[in-house]
Amino acid sequence: MTTTTHSLASGAGWHVTDVICTAGAGRPFEEAHQDFCVAAVTSGTFRYRAQQGTAMLAPGALLLGNPGTCYECGHEHGGGDRCLSFHFRPSYMERIAAGVPGARKLAFEAARLPPLPVLAPLLAEAETAREMADIDAFEELSLRMAGAAVATASGATHVRRAPRRRDQKRVAEAVRRIELDADGPISLSALADETATSPYHFLRIFRQVAGMTPYQFLLKTRLHRAAVRLRMSDDTVSAIAFGAGFSDLSTFNRRFRRIMGQTPSQYRSRRGA
């Protein structure tokens, strides 16, 4: 077996896998796309041939696949590669494409998107989420990856307009919901349902109004409350982490150190300084 696939996260209509191929030069692998596929290459190179054409994939590029189509992947100049592969059911992708201003059609006409500067920050976020095992981040990342692929592949340009009052109200309601229930599980789809919008549209208006994504706001809220408790109480770090809504202590420690510049224990030790 030269390819291993590890499931990272999934939801209604989407799933994300970490695909590692150790194959060397030789006969290409023939497979078929069951759903829409947007795969971010994180290491290695390989040749990809699909109905839309043939392309060489390198780190930073996006492989694009349409449902029901066959494709080949092979190595000609060295073996091995690794991809973050996002998969979307047609009905799910259709809702995303409908929310992309200027998108002309649903099916991908190109086999890949090259390593573009506009995509670099998103790909870095996705790879970081994989390395940090930040499973909760992938619902948002999947929507953003699909939207970015559709917009970039179709040549759609987004004209930024001032948010409507109705959208501002929706975001305000979502912010209050996050603040009230930050210590429990909150999904993007649930927030979108409560504001009567599609998940992709809700994600766009939230970022525009709040200046960050819903998940980023949730993490900020949890970390802020944890920092206050570290200074104000003598509870254990684990109790504070779980009480703030983190389900894994190591994830909390990494997040806290990344944002606050020191470990939770170091932060607490300075409360008398």
pLDDT in tens, 180-231: 899 998 999 999 999 888 898 899 889 888 888 999 999 989 999 999 899 8
Architecture (CATH level 2) of domain 223-269: Orthogonal Bundle (1.10)
Query: What pLDDT score was predicted for residue 133?
Result: 86
pTM: 0.79
Query: What pLDDT score was predicted for residue 269?
Result: 86
268 backbone φψ class: left, alpha, beta (φ>0; ψ -120 to 50) = alpha
Answer yes or no: same fold for 165-216 and 223-269: yes
Query: What pLDDT score was predicted for residue 100?
Result: 81
Distances 237 to 95, 205, 230, 263, 265 between C-alpha atoms, Å: 42, 35, 7, 10, 7
Query: What span, in angstroms and rounded, lies between the C-alpha atoms of 260 and 268?
Result: 11
**pLDDT digits over 38-94, tens only?**
999 998 888 899 999 888 888 898 999 999 999 998 876 666 789 999 999 999 999
The CATH class for the domain spanning 3-154 reads: mainly beta
- Domain segments of the chain: what residues? 3-154, 165-216, 223-269
Of 221, 228, 220, 222, whose CA–CA distance to 271 is shortest?
228
Distances 56 to 36, 53, 159, 167 between C-alpha atoms, Å: 19, 10, 32, 42
Q: Does domain 165-216 have CATH number 1.10.10?
A: yes
145: pLDDT confidence band, cut at 50, 70 and 90?
very high
238: pLDDT confidence band, cut at 50, 70 and 90?
very high
Q: What's the number of CA atoms in the CB half-sphere (13 Å) around residue 265?
A: 3
Query: What pLDDT score was predicted for residue 166?
Result: 86
26: pLDDT confidence band, cut at 50, 70 and 90?
low
